[in-house]
Amino acid sequence: MPERWRATGATAPGQRTVGEPGTARIAVDLLGGDQAPAVVVDGALRACKADPALHLTLVGPADAADAVLAALKPGDRRRITTVPAPSDAVGAAVHAVAEGRADALVSAGDTRAVVLSSARELGRWPGIRRPALTAVLPTAAGRLVLLDVGSSVDPDEETLAWHARLGAAYASVVLRMPAPRVGLLTIGTEPGKGDRLRRALPAQLVDLPLPGGARYAGLVEGGDIVLGRAADVVVTDGFTGNVLLKGLETVYALSGPPSRNTDPPPRAALLLGVSGTVVVCHGAATGPDLAAGIALAADLHRRNSVAAIADLLSAQRGIE
Q: What confidence tens digit (pLDDT) does each residue in 35-82 have?
A: 889 899 999 999 999 999 999 999 998 888 888 888 888 888 899 999
**How far apart, in whole angstroms, are the C-alpha atoms of residue 142 and residue 262?**
7
Which helix (H) or strand (E) segment holds residue 107: the answer is strand 104-107
Q: Any idea which of 12-26, 90-104, 228-242 has the lowest mean pLDDT?
A: 12-26
**How far apart, in whole angstroms, are the C-alpha atoms of residue 89 and residue 106?**
11
Segment 222-277, tens digit of pLDDT: 999 999 999 999 999 999 999 999 999 888 888 888 877 777 788 899 999 999 99
Residue 317: count of CB within 10 angstroms of its CB: 15
Q: What is the mean pLDDT of residues 288-308?
A: 95
Q: Is the pLDDT reported for residue 8 higher than 60?
A: no
Instruction: pLDDT band for 85, please (50, 70, 90 cuts).
Output: confident
Which helix (H) or strand (E) segment holds residue 139: the answer is strand 132-139
Q: Taking the C-alpha atoms of 301, 306, 312 and 313 in order, what is their torsion angle to the nearest 10 degrees?
A: 180
Report the pLDDT value the prediction gives residue 318, as an integer from 0 to 100: 57
> Residue type for 104, please?
A
- Mean pLDDT score of the chain, rounded to an integer? 88
Among the listed residues 146, 48, 109, the one whose alpha carbon sits nearest the alpha carbon of residue 278: 109
Segment 109-118, tens digit of pLDDT: 999 999 999 9
> Residue type for 212, please?
G
Which one has a higher pLDDT value, 219 or 315?
219
Q: Is the pLDDT reported for residue 176 higher than 90?
A: yes
**How far apart, in whole angstroms, are the C-alpha atoms of residue 277 and residue 287?**
21
Q: Is the pLDDT reported for residue 19 higher than 70?
A: no
**Omega of the bond prior to 37 within 30 degrees of 0, cis?**
yes
Instruction: pLDDT band for 6, please (50, 70, 90 cuts).
Output: low
Report the pLDDT value the prediction gives residue 3, as an integer from 0 to 100: 45
Domain architecture of the chain: domains with CATH: 1-126+273-303 (3.40.50.10950), 129-266 (3.40.718.10)
Report the pLDDT value the prediction gives residue 100, as an integer from 0 to 100: 93
CB 22 within 8 Å of CB 53: yes
pTM of the full structure: 0.90
Instruction: pLDDT band for 194, please (50, 70, 90 cuts).
Output: confident
When computed from its CA atoms, the radius of gyration of the chain, rounded to whole angstroms, is 19
**How far apart, in whole angstroms, are the C-alpha atoms of residue 190 and residue 35?**
44
Report the pLDDT value the prediction gives residue 21, as an integer from 0 to 100: 55
Residue 165 CA to its chain's centroid (Å): 15
